[in-house]
Structure 1
Amino acid sequence: MKFSLKEFRKWCRFIHRDLSYFFAGLILIYAISGIVMNHRDTINPHFNLSTYRYTLPEAIPSQDKITKDFVLKLLEKHNEEGNYTKHYFPEAGMMKVFLKGGSNYHLNINTGDVLYESVKRRPIIGAMTKLHYNPGQWWTLFADAFAIALIVITATGMFLVRGNKGLWGRGGIEFVLGLLIPLAFLLFF
């Protein structure tokens, strides 16, 4: 049986199409989480950090009269009463409340000024970026299969178009440029 260039292109098209569809979700996950990870200095991929400052309108009891129930009442405004761990007074007139999950609440007893720092997990982006850190042996095997599939997708894609728009024309020039740009960054920056 003779294997022709036409037959080769046909198989390239099938392999390219099926692997592309199979790995499209993972490609999107890696692309989106990769963008977030590239900007870790401006966005925390794992947690959403928020700071709230305000002054309590109600009277605050003296430090020796502040009870856990009073603290829980203050935390209701932020729906954090169920996350209460403990409170203490690091200095006279200042109360700090520790909350599960990393959030905390500071109260100046003398002025009523509050600093509430909320730490919330980013459920989708945080989980997506976790894949970049190789979460386990099974993921390593799947990620290796994905890497091999990307090589196959790229190689088969290079043979799909013929003529002056294919690998031996404009496509080849674009391929070389796409290869030279990362090489230039590696060598010169």
Structure 2
Amino acid sequence: MKWSNSIRKWSRIIHRDLSFFFAGMVLIYAISGIVMNHRDTINPNFSITRKEYKIAENLPDKAGMNKEKVLTLLEPLGETANYTKHYFPQADVMKVFLKGGSNLLVNVKTGTAVYESVTRRPLIGAMSRLHYNPGQWWTCFADIFAVGLIIITLSGIIMLKGNKGIIGRGGIELIAGILIPIFFLFFF
């Protein structure tokens, strides 16, 4: 009897300490995992905003549009320093490329413009990047984290005894937690 109590005692200690140690990683993976699950509605790396407006002045056509004129169009947006190049994908439509991925699309005939601002999501983007394994150093830490999760799981399974443990409610929850992913693997 003393032997099983000793194992449970050490399971609690290991479970508690590893849980505290890896809590940050669990939160990072959980939050970025939620965002990555909804990539069709949330871009985890970039925030993209669109602004549509009308340019009041008359604009030159393709032949008359030069860099200086494009820079005057970028002034109200605060993007003159980010100009990289411009071109006309259609006769009356000019696209201006800006550093960082932002762009401006202008119909020179009608004066309608669409400014698309692309900015990095610093926190969520960095968290999501960890899911893509950014390097060898991360592979080592992620492997240690995975082993830690296995140990946390196994110590949690043997920590409780009786009706709340593996032979009672805990066992039923364990089986359900195994069957649900298996069900989704085979049927979805």
TM-score by length of 2: 0.91
State which drifts further: 135-144 or 103-112: 103-112
Aligned to 1:146: 145
SS at match of 2:42: coil
TM-score by length of 1: 0.90
Aligned to 1:183: 182
Residue 82 of structure 1 and its aligned partner are, at CA, apart by: 1.6
Aligned to 2:101: 102
* Residue 32 (structure 2) pairs with residue 49 (structure 1): no
Residues 132-187 of structure 1: CA deviation (Å, up to 9, x unaligned): 11111111111011000000000101122222111111111111111111111112
SS at match of 1:158: helix
AA paired with 2:155?
Answer: T
Aligned to 1:118: 117
C-alpha distance in 2, partners of 1:49/1:65?
31
C-alpha distance in 2, partners of 1:129/1:161?
35
C-alpha distance in 2, partners of 1:166/1:90?
67
136 and 3 in structure 1: CA distance in 2 versus 1, 3 angstrom threshold: farther
C-alpha distance in 1, partners of 2:75/2:135?
39
Aligned to 1:26: 25
C-alpha distance in 2, partners of 1:166/1:91?
69
Residue 67 of structure 1 and its aligned partner are, at CA, apart by: 4.2
C-alpha distance in 2, partners of 1:70/1:167?
73
Residue 100 of structure 1 and its aligned partner are, at CA, apart by: 1.1
Aligned to 2:60: 62
C-alpha distance in 2, partners of 1:93/1:178?
59
Instruction: Report the number of matched residues.
Output: 187
27 and 93 in structure 1: CA distance in 2 versus 1, 3 angstrom threshold: same
AA paired with 1:12?
Answer: S
In structure 2, the gaps of 5 or more residues are none
C-alpha distance in 1, partners of 2:154/2:67?
65
Aligned to 1:171: 170
5 Å matches for 1:79-98?
79-98=78-97
